[in-house]
């Protein structure tokens, strides 16, 4: 339930929620909210999706077969955001109020907003590329430009991940929100566009080579290889590092160009792969509807850690409560001929600490 609320906040798909829809959410992320059975199969479905801006609706109609991947990308992005932020005060989730998350995302151009934009655009690029590689789409397939024999002596398979296609579609679809007349060239839209791009770079900058061996009993006499994307978990980890090192920027007009430049001129300029933000984050200690903070009351913390997951920082100095908990695990598993595994149940007694 909670996760679904989070997604709503991210944005507002169902008509029911329209009235609550924050003007500035990353609304297309609402696609993640569609049930997994519901598939976007026709141009009519595009018309019925309420989270999209006009330009996105047009793209949806032209690329209906890619839209399920957009949906998957949105879902993965939210899951991965929650995974990367599980042990921080802001944990990428929202509850009860439909718009909590939307406020973080939008009102201020914080680091958290930067991360959400980056991971979302990466989610779409990753999912679309994956779908292309599966060979089931009309519009795209593998990248067949990488082929022949490599200097290292292996054979390219001719079916590399088509990251160029995936990022191009992500750029067209995700960035469309920032191209409207009202938003164009505002400091905030420059920030969003930059972070959207940084998200896609977190894939492109980390492409790898995967190989398969052929030969008698795995001897690997012959290898075929292809360029492959990093796992989405790795993309999340890359972006979390960018979050930690994000640069605070401001808009600067140079001639007719609007650019984002570091607020502190002594800092080295950010690259296309870095995240940028314009507003300090709230401390997220107390619930606050204005900022979208849920507060950290009741959050589990680590008594011995000095980092942000430690009780001192997580609980903002308020102190914590300790209670014994019992964790039941399968253990001492034995394989029985043939063929099953039998395990014992073991109990582990631990203390759980939660913030006051
Ligand atoms: C995130 O934090 C809120 C409160 O701070 C809590 O209610 C929620 O369960 C947390 N979500 C996850 C996924 O841990
Ligand atoms: C708590 O933090 C300590 C020190 O950082 C770490 O070694 C330990 O694994 C953490 N415990 C849990 C349950 O995460």
Least confident of 5-14, 280-289, 315-324: 5-14
CA distance 161 to 166: 9
CB 102 within 8 A of CB 22: yes
Percentage of the chain beyond pLDDT 70 is: 85
CA of 286 to the centre of ligand 2 (A): 24
Least confident of 63-67, 77-81, 183-187, 261-265: 183-187
**pLDDT number for residue 313:** 96
CB 196 within 8 A of CB 125: no
pLDDT exceeds cutoff 70 at 237: yes
Q: Which residues contact 315 (CB under 8 A, 6 or more apart)?
A: 296, 299, 301, 355, 356
With cut-offs at 50, 70 and 90, classify the pLDDT of residue 14. very low
- What's the DSSP call for residue 113? H
Question: Closest residue (by CA) to atom 11 of ligand 1?
Answer: 93
With cut-offs at 50, 70 and 90, classify the pLDDT of residue 37. low
CA angle at 13 for the pair 30 and 299, rounded to the nearest 5°: 55
**Is there an atom of ligand 2 within 6 Å of 302 CB?**
yes
pLDDT exceeds cutoff 80 at 111: yes
The mean pLDDT of 334-340, rounded to a whole number, is: 86
pLDDT exceeds cutoff 50 at 334: yes
CA of 57 to the centre of ligand 1 (A): 33
Helix ranges (DSSP H) in the chain = 2-10, 15-18, 43-48, 54-62, 67-84, 100-106, 111-133, 163-174, 187-204, 232-244, 311-314
The mean pLDDT of 140-169, rounded to a whole number, is: 90
Higher-confidence residue of 219 and 167: namely 167
CB 26 within 8 A of CB 116: yes
- Helix-strand-coil split of the chain, %, nearest 5: 40, 20, 40
What is each CA distance from 9 to 21, 104, 162, 284, 292, in whole angstroms?
A: 8, 10, 32, 17, 10
pLDDT exceeds cutoff 90 at 172: yes
Q: Which residues contact 168 (CB under 8 A, 6 or more apart)?
A: none
With cut-offs at 50, 70 and 90, classify the pLDDT of residue 290. confident
**Is there an atom of ligand 2 within 6 Å of 253 CB?**
no
Question: Closest residue (by CA) to atom 14 of ligand 2?
Answer: 302
**pLDDT number for residue 94:** 52
With cut-offs at 50, 70 and 90, classify the pLDDT of residue 250. very high
The mean pLDDT of 54-78, rounded to a whole number, is: 92
The overall average pLDDT reported for the chain is 85
Ligand closest in space to the Cα of 285: 1
Q: Ligand 1: which atom is nearest the Cα of residue 91?
A: 1
pLDDT exceeds cutoff 80 at 276: yes
Q: Which residues contact 64 (CB under 8 A, 6 or more apart)?
A: 40, 41, 42, 43, 45, 46
Which of 5, 91, 285 is the best mutation target for the ligand 1 pocket, counting ligand atoms within 8 Å of the beta carbon and taking the most? 91
Q: Ligand 2: which atom is nearest the Cα of residue 302?
A: 1
Question: Closest residue (by CA) to atom 2 of ligand 2?
Answer: 305
Q: Which residues contact 178 (CB under 8 A, 6 or more apart)?
A: 184, 189, 192, 193, 196
**pLDDT number for residue 286:** 94
**pLDDT number for residue 10:** 36
Q: Are strands 293-294 and 287-288 parallel, antiparallel or unpaired?
A: antiparallel
With cut-offs at 50, 70 and 90, classify the pLDDT of residue 340. confident
**Is there an atom of ligand 2 within 6 Å of 138 CB?**
no
Which of 86, 302, 307, 320 is the best mutation target for the ligand 2 pocket, counting ligand atoms within 8 Å of the beta carbon and taking the most? 302
Which of 305, 306, 309, 320 is the best mutation target for the ligand 2 pocket, counting ligand atoms within 8 Å of the beta carbon and taking the most? 305
Three-state secondary structure call for residue 125 = helix
- By C-alpha distance, which of 206, 168, 205, 189 is closest to 59? 168
Tell me which residues have their CB closer than 6 angstroms to ligand 1. Answer: 82, 86, 91, 93, 95, 294-296, 299
Domains of the chain (ranges, CATH numbers): 6-294 (no CATH), 300-355 (3.30.2460.20)
The mean pLDDT of 117-127, rounded to a whole number, is: 96
Higher-confidence residue of 47 and 99: namely 47
CA of 91 to the centre of ligand 1 (A): 6
The most confident of the ranges 38-42, 186-190, 254-258 is: 186-190
**pLDDT number for residue 38:** 67
CA distance 345 to 347: 7
CA of 307 to the centre of ligand 2 (A): 10
């Amino acid at each position: 339930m909670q996760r679904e609320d989070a997604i709503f906040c991210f944005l507002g798909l169902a008509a029911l929620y329209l009235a609550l829809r924050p003007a500035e959410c990353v609304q297309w992320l609402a696609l993640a909210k569609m049930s997994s059975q519901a598939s976007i199969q026709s141009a009519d479905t595009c018309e019925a999706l309420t989270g999209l801006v006009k330009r996105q609706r047009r793209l949806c109609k032209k690329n209906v077969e890619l839209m399920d991947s957009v949906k998957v990308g949105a879902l993965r992005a939210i899951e991965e955001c929650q995974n990367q932020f599980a042990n921080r005060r802001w944990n990428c989730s929202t509850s009860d109020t439909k718009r909590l998350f939307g406020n973080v995302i939008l009102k201020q151009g914080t680091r958290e907003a930067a991360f959400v934009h980056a991971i979302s655009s990466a989610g779409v690029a990753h999912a679309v590329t994956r779908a292309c590689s599966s060979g089931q789409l009309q519009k795209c397939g593998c990248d067949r430009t990488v082929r022949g024999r490599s200097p290292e002596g292996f054979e390219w398979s001719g079916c590399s991940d088509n990251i160029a296609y995936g990022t191009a579609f992500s750029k067209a679809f995700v960035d469309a929100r920032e191209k409207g007349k009202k938003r164009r060239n505002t400091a905030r839209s420059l920030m969003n566009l930059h972070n959207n791009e940084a998200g896609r770079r977190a894939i492109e900058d980390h492409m790898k080579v995967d190989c398969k061996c052929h030969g008698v009993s795995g001897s690997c006499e012959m290898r075929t290889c292809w360029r492959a994307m990093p796992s989405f978990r790795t993309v999340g980890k890359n972006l979390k590092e960018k979050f930690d090192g994000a640069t605070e920027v401001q808009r600067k007009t140079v001639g007719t160009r609007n650019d984002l430049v570091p607020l502190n001129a002594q800092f080295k300029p950010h690259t296309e792969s870095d995240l940028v933000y314009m507003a300090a984050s709230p401390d997220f200690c107390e619930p606050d509807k204005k900022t979208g903070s849920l507060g950290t009351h009741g959050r589990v913390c680590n008594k011995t850690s000095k980092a942000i997951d430690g009780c001192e920082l997580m609980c903002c100095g308020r102190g914590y409560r300790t209670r014994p908990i019992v964790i039941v695990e399968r253990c001492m598993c034995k394989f029985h001929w043939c063929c099953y595994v039998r395990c014992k149940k073991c109990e582990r007694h631990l203390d759980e600490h939660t913030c006051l």
